[in-house]
Chain A
Amino acid sequence: MKQKQRCALLRRIDAALTEFYAAPYRRAVGRAQREEEDLFMLLVFSESLGVPNPVGFHTLELMPVLYERFHEWHTRMGMERSPLEHVGCC
């Protein structure tokens, strides 16, 4: 019982420290991550933008996975509707 309580306390301290560590830089780190993911999405959608893609066969499979993210991207970029004709995410 005591062991358990001690474990829970340690876990709570750890969580608080993690929050203290992460909170101020969440923004910078999140931005960097978002930029990287945008780049990846650009690679996947490159054929639709007219950029030849040597691994198009494989990235085609990824398109459904990225649909949600694509929608999130174009709304973030200030476009209400999907800018690509054949991608009707909304």
Chain B
Amino acid sequence: MNAIFLMVLGMGAMLLGYFFYSRFIADKIYRLDPNYVTPAHTLRDGVDYVPTNRFVLWAHHTTSVAGAAPIVGPAIAVIWGWGPAFLWVTLGTVFFAGVHDMGAIWASVRNQGKSIGTLAGGVVGARGRNLFLVVIFLLLMMVNAAFAVVIANLFVSTPSSVIPVWSAVIVALVIGQLFYRYKVGLLWPSVVGLAVLYTLVIVGNSYPVLLPDGLLGLSARSLWILILFVYCGIASMLPVWMLLQPRDYINGMQLAIGVLLLFVAVLIGAPDIVAPMFNDNVPSGTPGIFPLLFVTIACGAISGFHGLVSSGTTSKQIDKETDARFIGYAGAVGEGMLALAAIIACTAGFASLVEWESIYDTFGGGNVAAFVQGGDAILSNGLGLPDDLGATLLATMVVLFAATTMDSGVRLQRYVIQETAELAGVRIGGVIGTIIALGFCLALAFGAGEEGTGGMLIWPLFGTTNQLLAALTLVILTVILVRLRRPTWMLVGPLVFLLLMAIFGLLVQLRQFYEAGNWLLLGLDVIILVAALWVALEAVTAIRRGGSLEPEAGEEEQQ
């Protein structure tokens, strides 16, 4: 089958979702009101609460929710064939993610821009808040460990990306200084910065950098993981304007260019999908598609992390309440498109089924390396890029994304550690907090599998936790809707599905870890399982309690 067909089908479904389903949800369920005065206006302070142009806000919302995760998940999950991954990404984006993201913005806007964590405290009680902290800490720890492994793998498999990736740090530092110290307009620094970056992609393509194996008794991959965590430790303690902000800015542009190039290349080259629709011939050791598919692809179908962004920052900047539909739902569609691009690259960028099967020879094999390799083939076919240049380009894009996520992930983890310590009555400084955070991540990356492969083993666990967070947000939204006496089935459906898949997935993995004797991951699995059951329990009690309370009079009921 041709990849163009898949692309058009996926995009078409998501756009239909945006034009029809999201309108229905916005009008009938959340009842977004163009005249409602949003917190950006009522609490305007120039710092947190600033009314922002909806296109700018959409661009931000999308780039901050779309990291490397919507690439990694689909790149692993196509091992069951492209059909299931495609269906879950498309239907997940249309019926799950869009509704969830838009709802998180709406709930926050209606509650003075409070974050979902705070709302959980109000709706579910103090336990809800603690549960939230636990889930977030686990999520950050797993994402940092997993992304370090993803990056290290890419540095080993595509060594030509080493030069552009590390030079991007310097480009970002220079742009940051120009903007803040010398007040230079951004147009020319951006143009020059991107030109330098893409020149370095070409340079790096000719000069791959390989770390020697066995240095300090470590493999090249382990060495890269260590280097990355040292870098993240330092980067996460710098002020945000110095490195993180300009990096984020360049990443946003890079993502737009990368995804656009991929889609154009698919349109021109019209590659055939070589992978089977349903793979009956999965390599031994591959867990069952049901429920593992639904926890392997979290970002790209539905992700709780979006709720944090939606309610943490986006809701405080929203100009009109009706913008929530465009920003929340279309933001989810943006991420779905990225996941779609990943599916196409991982299934259509290979010459034959045999070649594809040789790459996806184990569960977790293939992965982003398959995305880079397949994407490279599509780019050189469609746009005539010289051999391997596309691989360098895509690897650089993925690494930059993952590294920025790690930077802010370690930063947030430090805050959580400092906050927890403060609750316990101990004061922890920035350096100690960062070291503790890095310790947790390193222990997970190296403790769960030899040579730091543990980071990839935890991917499904990461997906599960991410979806638990989404389920928690859906619980809060459902309770709010129940108290407003509005229909809730479009939220309860996804909620029940997510919780069942999460718990089922955790049990399946529990058995795997037990059989493999991986006690660290077994322990982590048990903790997440307890959190999942906790969420389910809180959901039932909170929704029942909400139903027995007096209906809350929303302004529309009073009219």
Contacts and interface: CB of A to CB of B under 8 A. Distances in A.
Interface of A: 10, 13-14, 16-21, 23-32, 34
Contact of B240 (A13, A14, A20, A25): A25
B50 A10 contact: no
Contacts of B57: 23
B56 A13 contact: no
Contact of A13 (B48, B59, B187): B187
B118 to A, nearest CB: 16
Nearest to B63: A24
| Interface SS, A side | helix
B47 interface: yes
Contacts of A16: 56
Contact of B186 (A21, A26, A34): A21
B252 A30 contact: no
Contacts of A21: 179, 186, 245-246, 249
Contacts of B46: 26, 30
13 contacts: A13-B187, A17-B190, A20-B60, A20-B249, A20-B252, A21-B186, A23-B60, A24-B313, A25-B240, A26-B47, A26-B50, A29-B241, A30-B48
A30 B249 CA distance: 18
Contacts of B185: 14, 18
Given A16-B56, A30-B46, A23 B249 contact: no
A32 B187 CA distance: 26
B52 interface: yes
Contacts of B451: none
Contacts of A29: 240-241, 245
A51 B195 CA distance: 54
Contact of A30 (B47, B56, B244, B317): B47
B272 interface: no
B52 A23 contact: yes
Contacts of A24: 60, 64, 245, 248, 313
B135 to A, nearest CB: 23
Interface in B184-209: 185-187, 190
B313 A27 contact: yes
B286 interface: no
Contacts, number: 57
Contacts of B313: 24, 27
A31 B47 contact: yes
B249 to A, nearest CB: 5
A23 B246 CA distance: 12
Nearest to B245: A25
Nearest to B248: A24
B198 to A, nearest CB: 18
A14 to B, nearest CB: 4
Nearest to A32: B239
Given A17-B186, A20-B252, 9 more contacts: A14-B185, A18-B186, A23-B50, A23-B57, A24-B313, A25-B240, A26-B46, A27-B48, A29-B245
Contacts of A19: 52-53, 56
Contacts of B56: 16, 19-20, 23
Interface string B228-255: 0000000000011100111011001000
B186 A14 contact: yes
Contacts of A25: 240-241, 244-245, 248
Contacts of B317: 23
A14 B187 contact: yes
Contacts of A27: 47-48, 313
Contacts of B53: 19
A10 B252 contact: no
B474 to A, nearest CB: 25
Nearest to A72: B45
A67 B53 CA distance: 33
A24 B239 CA distance: 14
Contacts of B52: 19, 23
B245 A20 contact: no
Interface in B30-66: 46-48, 50, 52-53, 56-57, 59-60, 64
Contacts of B50: 23, 26
A16 B55 CA distance: 10
Contacts of A20: 56, 59-60, 249, 252
B378 to A, nearest CB: 28
Nearest to B249: A21
A39 to B, nearest CB: 15
Nearest to B175: A21
A43 B48 CA distance: 26
A58 B246 CA distance: 39
Question: What 7 pairs between A and B have smallest CB-CB spacing?
Answer: A30-B47, A17-B186, A14-B187, A14-B185, A25-B245, A28-B240, A21-B249
Nearest to B185: A14
Nearest to A24: B60
A16 B53 CA distance: 10
Interface centre among A19, A24, A29 (most CB of B within 10 A): A24
Interface centre among B47, B50, B241, B313 (most CB of A within 10 A): B47
Contacts of A18: 185-186
Contacts of A28: 240-241
A30 B46 CA distance: 8
B37 to A, nearest CB: 20
A70 B226 CA distance: 47
A25 B179 CA distance: 13
A39 B47 CA distance: 18
A43 B139 CA distance: 41
A83 B558 CA distance: 42
A48 B47 CA distance: 29
